[in-house]
Amino acid sequence: MRIGILTSGGDCPGINATIRGVCKTAIHHYGMEVVGIHSGFQGLLTKDVELFTDKSLSGLLNLGGTVLGTSREKPFKKGGMTLDGVHKPTLIKQNMKELGLDCLVCIGGNGTQKTAAKFAAFGINVVSVPKTIDNDIWGTDISFGFDSAVSIATDAIDRLHSTASSHKRVMVIEVMGHKAGWIALYSGMAGGGDIILLPEIPYDINNVCETIHQRALRGKSYTIVVVAEGIRTDGVKRPAAYIADEIERMTGIETRETVLGYIQRGGSPTPFDRNLSTRMGGHATELIAEGCFGRMIALTGNEISSVPLEEVAGKLNLVTESHDLVVQGRRMGICFG
Ligand code: F6P
């Protein structure tokens, strides 16, 4: 069996650990070959590949990013046609045959899961692994990359407390998450945020300012506000700048903003993500050995399972008001808007 493996969409810590899990299981346990495909689905169009060996897998467990490179190439977009009239999915199927690839492991986020589902329907043997810092992939409790991003964001929020306290300021920090508020919720609660604004829970800037005012009346000399990048704003400024400007204008309290940005996607994966990536990678290879395709690996509780790709595509895993961290946070006086 010869496996093709690719990484697609935004990078994050844990991708290389997943590649390692797939490859070491395939090579050592099943005697399979693994071909790395460069730059996501783009590498399948150009047959830009490399054969993985035990040597090339060394040092991957704790290495950030993806050694295969990535892209946001979507072969089925706009009917899948190139400018010179080639049907990309057909070309990819042909190239896989020429490369001797029996199946494909796709490591990626929502866009990649959608593409993987389309390739499965197109007759390609596909197994996918959910990857994203946003944790917004439906069908799995957690995606690898999320814990690492929460760890980075929490460390940043921890650091804001001392400067906010020294200057008696309101500090607003914007974290990633695309349309989901998982990073803001988990890092906001772990970092002691006083106000946490999520895309899934509408906020009223008057409530935000009243919360800050009440805190000041109770002698709280500073406030930490954590905002997800996907919250509603005026559509002009970045969320952190919009919220900070409104707070300073309406309360008169000195307010500063920080946009954490791509730091949340950098560096080495946390131990949790390393082990989740290892488990998911190994189980992807196990499904292949069993001839079980068209599925996405998933974490359900503490067990690794898999779900049909057609059930995953097009759905989002979003924060709900009933989530325990939201319920407990509200009971403790944290403002969610
Ligand atoms: O999906 C991961 C993510 O980092 C999102 O949180 C963010 O909105 C997006 O990618 C940024 O995309 P790009 O890397 O293309 O700028």
For the segment 244-270, the average pLDDT, to the nearest whole number, is 98
pTM (2 decimals)? 0.97
Asked whether residue 83 carries a pLDDT value surpassing 90, the answer given is no
Residue nearest to atom 10 of ligand 1 (CA): 10
Pairing of strands 103-108, 126-130: parallel
Q: Which two tokens stand for residue 292?
A: 């079980």
Determine the Cα–Cα distance for residues 199 and 135; give it in Å rounded to an integer.
14
Determine the Cα–Cα distance for residues 286 and 297; give it in Å rounded to an integer.
11
Asked whether residue 234 carries a pLDDT value surpassing 90, the answer given is no
Tell me, which fold does domain 148-265 have in CATH? Rossmann fold (3.40.50)
For the segment 25-37, the average pLDDT, to the nearest whole number, is 98
Q: Please list the alpha-helical segments (H only) found in 25-73.
A: 42-46
Determine the Cα–Cα distance for residues 2 and 152; give it in Å rounded to an integer.
37
Determine the Cα–Cα distance for residues 271 and 62; give it in Å rounded to an integer.
9
User: Does an H or E element contain 49, and which?
Assistant: strand 49-51
3-state DSSP assignment of residue 280: helix
188 lines ligand 1 (CB under 6 A): no
132 lines ligand 1 (CB under 6 A): yes
Q: In what order do the strands lie in the sheet with 223-228?
A: 195-197, 223-228, 170-175, 255-259
177 lines ligand 1 (CB under 6 A): yes
134 is catalytic: yes
For the segment 51-76, the average pLDDT, to the nearest whole number, is 96
pLDDT band at 313 (very low <50, low <70, confident <90, very high): confident
pLDDT band at 67 (very low <50, low <70, confident <90, very high): very high
For the segment 301-322, the average pLDDT, to the nearest whole number, is 96
Residue nearest to atom 1 of ligand 1 (CA): 10
Handedness of CA 309, 314, 318, 320 (dihedral sign): negative
Query: What is the whole-number distance in angstroms between the Cα of residue 30 and the centre of ligand 1?
Result: 35
For the segment 203-222, the average pLDDT, to the nearest whole number, is 97
133 lines ligand 1 (CB under 6 A): yes
Query: Among residues 134, 136, 194, 273, which one is catalytic?
Result: 134
Contact between residue 244 and residue 233 where contact means Cβ atoms under 8 Å apart: no
109 lines ligand 1 (CB under 6 A): yes
Is it true that 2-145+269-312 and 148-265 share their CATH fold? yes
For the segment 138-165, the average pLDDT, to the nearest whole number, is 98
Q: Could you state, in order of their start, the residue ranges of all structural domains in the chain?
A: 2-145+269-312, 148-265
For the segment 205-214, the average pLDDT, to the nearest whole number, is 98
Query: What is the whole-number distance in angstroms between the Cα of residue 297 and the centre of ligand 1?
Result: 22
Average pLDDT, the chain: 97
The percent of residues above 90 in pLDDT, for the chain, comes to: 97
Query: What is the whole-number distance in angstroms between the Cα of residue 12 and the centre of ligand 1?
Result: 10
Handedness of CA 37, 41, 44, 46 (dihedral sign): negative
The pLDDT of residue 94 is 98
Tell me, which fold does domain 2-145+269-312 have in CATH? Rossmann fold (3.40.50)
User: Does an H or E element contain 295, and which?
Assistant: strand 295-300
Q: Which of 66, 133, 150, 152 gets mutated to test ligand 1 (max ligand atoms within 8 A of its CB)? A: 133
Q: Please identify which residue in the block is written with the tokens 């494909």.
A: 104
Contact between residue 260 and residue 172 where contact means Cβ atoms under 8 Å apart: no
Per-residue pLDDT of 94-134, as tens digits, reads 999 999 999 999 999 999 999 999 999 999 999 999 999 99
Residue nearest to atom 13 of ligand 1 (CA): 10
174 lines ligand 1 (CB under 6 A): no
With CA atoms as reference, report the closest residue to 275 among 136, 91, 142. 142
Asked whether residue 6 carries a pLDDT value surpassing 90, the answer given is yes
178 lines ligand 1 (CB under 6 A): yes
The pLDDT of residue 175 is 98
Contact between residue 229 and residue 174 where contact means Cβ atoms under 8 Å apart: yes
The pLDDT of residue 264 is 98
DSSP 104: E
Contact between residue 285 and residue 32 where contact means Cβ atoms under 8 Å apart: yes
Asked whether residue 208 carries a pLDDT value surpassing 90, the answer given is yes
Pairing of strands 303-308, 295-300: antiparallel
* Residues 6 or more apart in contact with residue 35 via CB below 8 angstroms: 2, 3, 4, 5, 49, 50, 51, 52, 99, 101
pLDDT band at 304 (very low <50, low <70, confident <90, very high): very high
Query: What is the whole-number distance in angstroms between the Cα of residue 176 and the centre of ligand 1?
Result: 7
